[in-house]
Amino acid sequence: MPNAPMPKPGDILHFLRSGQTYHDIRRGQFAAFVSRRGQELVVTADLIEASKDRNGLVAPWLALAHDPEAQVRRFDEQIVGTGPWPSDLVKQEPGSTEHDDARRAAVREANALPTKGERARALAEVERRYGPSQPTSRTNAVYSR
DSSP string, 17-67: SS--EEEEEETTEEEEEE--TT-EEE--HHHHHHTB-TTSPBPHHHHTTT-
Within 13 A of 32's CA, how many CA atoms are on the CB side? 5
Query: 17 and 71: one domain?
Result: yes
The pLDDT value given to residue 96: 83
Query: 21 and 58: one domain?
Result: yes
Query: 21 and 50: one domain?
Result: yes
The pLDDT value given to residue 121: 95
Examine the pLDDT at 138 and tell me if it is beyond 70: no
Q: Which of 22, 4, 24, 21 is nearest to 82 (CA)?
A: 4
Number of separate domains in the chain: 2
Q: Is residue 114 assigned to a domain?
A: yes
Query: 18 and 76: one domain?
Result: yes
Where does the pLDDT of residue 1 fall: very low under 50, low under 70, confident under 90, or very high at 90 and above? very low
Where does the pLDDT of residue 67 fall: very low under 50, low under 70, confident under 90, or very high at 90 and above? very high
Bridge partners (DSSP) of residue 30 are 25
Query: 24 and 67: one domain?
Result: yes
Query: 28 and 68: one domain?
Result: yes
Burial string for 26-56 (b: 16+ CB within 10 Å, else e) reads eeeeeeeeebebbbebebeebbbebbeeeee
- The percentage of residues in the chain with a pLDDT greater than 70, rounded to a whole number, is 97
Q: Is residue 142 assigned to a domain?
A: no
At residue 117, the 3 state secondary structure works out as: helix
Query: 75 and 101: one domain?
Result: no
Q: Which of 118, 91, 115, 113 is nearest to 103 (CA)?
A: 91
The amino acid that residue 54 corresponds to is R
Where does the pLDDT of residue 3 fall: very low under 50, low under 70, confident under 90, or very high at 90 and above? low
Q: Is residue 20 assigned to a domain?
A: yes
Structural domain range at position 108: 97-130
Q: Is residue 126 assigned to a domain?
A: yes
Per-residue pLDDT of 10-52, as tens digits, reads 999 999 999 999 999 888 888 999 999 999 999 999 999 999 9
Query: 65 and 18: one domain?
Result: yes
Query: 64 and 103: one domain?
Result: no
